[in-house]
Chain A
């Protein structure tokens, strides 16, 4: 059994792993874990990852969760080009710094925007109160500002002149609100230019393919939604009220 990656490309962390593996021609079996059908709660998947989250990696008997850990593992095991995770002490630290910060500063708020602008209204038929929406948008705006001022600055990419894991992770997460028709790239030309550079470095075709499911979510028939997932979304709505 070869390398297996358990993914749903609706999730930003899955897209980062998918893009990296494909870009580096790492052979793997794509195991689709359909989040909208609640596959992550299935008995089969819980055996793979008891935390019920995607992505997961399975390499023989070795199972690994957490996209950041998976990306580092793939880098090392498949000896990918060094610019992805530069060996220089300081440059590597810059990548580590972003990879640590992004969990709460980028991934969480971007994912929340996607929930409140797309999933919650679509599934519950209700809107999240304006006040909460404004608060979350302000948080995203603040994070984007910090991203530009501290992590990107005047460089081409986060680590310097070359694309690294940090840029892939950053961009796929910033794309998440696009699924809800919210574009976080509008306010900064610097970030918009960085985005184009990253997409080009990844390859527009691969990038587009990875984001297809997210971008087509509006067309999805929400009546096929798994009831447990629907329940969770309704619970989430209550938290925002």
Chain B
């Protein structure tokens, strides 16, 4: 049985893994888990990842959750080029530092912006709550400022002189709100320049492919397909964003 990656390309960490695997020629079976249909909550998927989240990996009998763990696993198993996770002690520490920090500093607040701008209106049928959106964007600002003014002032990529797992994760995360109209790069010139560099390093075509789904406006009819699920999702989102 070949390597299976359980992904929904609406999810930034899934895109990071997808891009990484494709870029490195790692053969895998794409197992689609549609978050919008609540497939991540179904018993079948919970057998793969009891945490009920994507991405997830199955390699024979071995199951693995958490995008950072999956990226490190793939980089080791397939012995990818060293720049992704440099062997030098300090360079590696910089990548580790970003990958740890980003969970609460980037991923969580960026996801919340996306949920407020796109997912909640889609499933509730209500317009965007602009007051709440501003508040959520405000929470992301210190992290963006840190990256633009401090981290990228000293080097071209987030951890070292070359693209690494840190840039890959950051790129797909920052693209999430940007793809739905909250351009996170607009006020931060170094971050915008970094974005172009990362896109060039990953390959523009691959990046486009990975982001095709999130860049498309959602079809409002999708939300009405399962009203009970929509209601459940709206409830969860309201709780999360309050």
* Residues of A that sit less than 8 Å from B by CB: 50-51, 62, 64-69, 72-73, 76-77, 89-90, 92-93, 96-97, 99-101, 103-104, 108, 146, 149-150
Contacts and interface: CB of A to CB of B under 8 A. Distances in A.
Identify the 3 closest CB pairs spanning chains A and B, nearest first. A69-B96, A96-B69, A103-B103
Contacts of A93: 62, 64, 69, 72-73
Nearest to B57: A93
Contact of A62 (B90, B99, B146): B90
Contacts of A90: 62
A93 B66 CA distance: 10
A149 B50 contact: yes
Contacts of A76: 89, 92
Contacts of A50: 146, 150
A51 B146 contact: yes
B73 A69 contact: no
B97 A66 contact: yes
B216 interface: no
B104 A103 contact: yes
Interface in B90-136: 90, 92-94, 96-97, 99-101, 103-104, 108
A104 B69 contact: no
A104 B108 contact: yes
Given A93-B72, A101-B51, A149-B50, 18 more contacts: A50-B146, A50-B150, A51-B101, A51-B146, A62-B90, A65-B101, A66-B96, A66-B100, A67-B100, A69-B93, A72-B96, A73-B89, A89-B76, A93-B62, A93-B69, A100-B67, A100-B99, A150-B50
Interface string B61-89: 01011111100110011000000000001
Given A103-B100, A104-B104, A146-B50, A96 B146 contact: no
B197 to A, nearest CB: 23
Contacts of A62: 90, 93
Q: Is the interface of A mostly helix, strand, loop or mixed?
A: helix
B50 A73 contact: no
Interface in B177-219: none
A96 B93 contact: no
A150 B53 CA distance: 13
Interface of B: 50-51, 62, 64-69, 72-73, 76-77, 89-90, 92-94, 96-97, 99-101, 103-104, 108, 146, 150
A150 B63 CA distance: 11
Contacts, number: 76
A73 B96 contact: yes
A63 to B, nearest CB: 10
A149 B50 CA distance: 8
B138 to A, nearest CB: 13
A66 B101 contact: yes
A59 B137 CA distance: 35
A146 B62 CA distance: 18
B37 to A, nearest CB: 23
Contacts of A103: 100, 103-104
Contacts of B100: 66-69, 99, 103
16 contacts: A62-B93, A64-B97, A73-B89, A77-B89, A89-B76, A96-B66, A96-B69, A96-B73, A97-B65, A100-B67, A100-B68, A101-B65, A103-B104, A104-B103, A104-B104, A150-B51
B211 to A, nearest CB: 23
A146 B104 contact: no
Nearest to B53: A101
Given A97-B64, A97-B65, A150-B51, A72 B103 contact: no
A48 B73 CA distance: 32
A95 B93 CA distance: 17
Nearest to A66: B100
Contacts of A146: 50-51
Nearest to B49: A150
A150 B65 CA distance: 10
A101 B64 CA distance: 12
B45 to A, nearest CB: 14
Contacts of B104: 103-104, 108
